[in-house]
Amino acid sequence: MSLSGKTAIVTGAGTGIGKGIALALAARGTKVSVHYNASEAGALDTCKQIEASGGECLLIQADVSKEQDIRRMVDAAAAHWGGIDILVNNAALQLNQDWRDYTEDQFEQVMATNLKGYWQCMQAVIPYMKVSKSGRIILISSIHAKRPTDFDVVYAMTKGGIKMLGRESAIELAQYGITVNTVEPGAVDVGKYRQSHRAPDRRKFPLGRVGLPADVASLVCYLASEESSFMTGTAIRLDGAGMLM
């Protein structure tokens, strides 16, 4: 599945799922803009790994809750690479705050990053994708777009909103050859499971493990490729059947 010569922006690429996606896209020949907000060390490591493998990357800092930062990020990436073929909206906040304890500022911060930020990143890249009459937009949501979290109601609200953002956008952008798809991961090991030294409970994880960033990245690469050219407006659950339990 070659993506040679394509250009991409991956938000939140300094850690976790975003890092895995950036590395996988680069391994398939994509020129990757590695976005971060506060995780500079992680983003530098992502770029270091990409370049060590012979890939190309551009490091960009931006606060995706702010439109001005988003415009700066997208314009810089487009100028550097000569266009934008792929946007992976991944950067998100998860405060794990009880709904009764959420402050108005916290609510607005999570909404501005997880939902408004996705929408405004899309607004910023679409003019560049229209020029080439093609494009791939991939939104990282969560199984909590479908199932309550019981640990963060506002986070779950944003994930549900992302699903509808993907559906509505797929309809409107199809005329320009731009596809929009959503990935809904379940539990993904970004360190906490390894740190616990406990095997996942098969009553919650039928395959005997949680997901890995590489699992999400493989699906993203498919959605970014020409092989998925007739797929748009989908929301794909990626949880090893965990939600069935």
- Residue 215's SS3 state is helix
The correct CATH number of 7-244 out of 1.10.287.3510, 3.40.50.720, 3.50.30.30, 1.10.10.10 is 3.40.50.720
User: What gap in Å lies between CA 155 and CA 209, rounded to an integer?
Assistant: 24
Tokens coding 70: 């988003």
Q: What is the Cβ-side half-sphere exposure of residue 107, based on CA atoms within 13 angstroms?
A: 9
User: What gap in Å lies between CA 213 and CA 106, rounded to an integer?
Assistant: 27
Q: What is the pLDDT of residue 193?
A: 55
**Contact 212/190 with Cβ under 8 angstroms?**
no
Would you put residue 229 in left (φ > 0), alpha (ψ -120 to 50) or beta? alpha
Helices 117-132/153-173 angle, 10° precision? 20
**What residues does each domain of the chain span?**
7-244
Q: How many CB atoms lie within 10 A of CB 6?
A: 21
CA angle 94, 49, 15 (to 5 degrees): 5
What are residue 154's phi and psi, to 5 degrees?
-70, -40
Q: Smallest Cα–Cα separation from 81: which of 58, 61, 63, 52?
A: 58
Instruction: Cite the active site residues.
Output: 155
Encode the chain (245 residues) as per-residue pLDDT tens digits.
689 999 999 999 999 999 999 999 999 999 999 999 999 999 999 999 999 999 999 999 999 999 999 999 999 999 999 999 999 999 999 999 888 999 999 999 999 999 999 999 999 999 999 999 999 999 999 998 887 767 899 999 999 999 999 999 999 999 999 999 999 999 999 875 555 556 667 778 899 899 999 999 999 999 999 999 999 999 999 999 988 87
Q: What is the pLDDT of residue 192?
A: 59
What are residue 236's phi and psi, to 5 degrees?
-100, 120
Q: In what order do the strands lie in the sheet with 235-238?
A: 57-61, 31-36, 7-10, 86-89, 135-140, 178-185, 235-238
User: What gap in Å lies between CA 10 and CA 52, rounded to an integer?
Assistant: 19
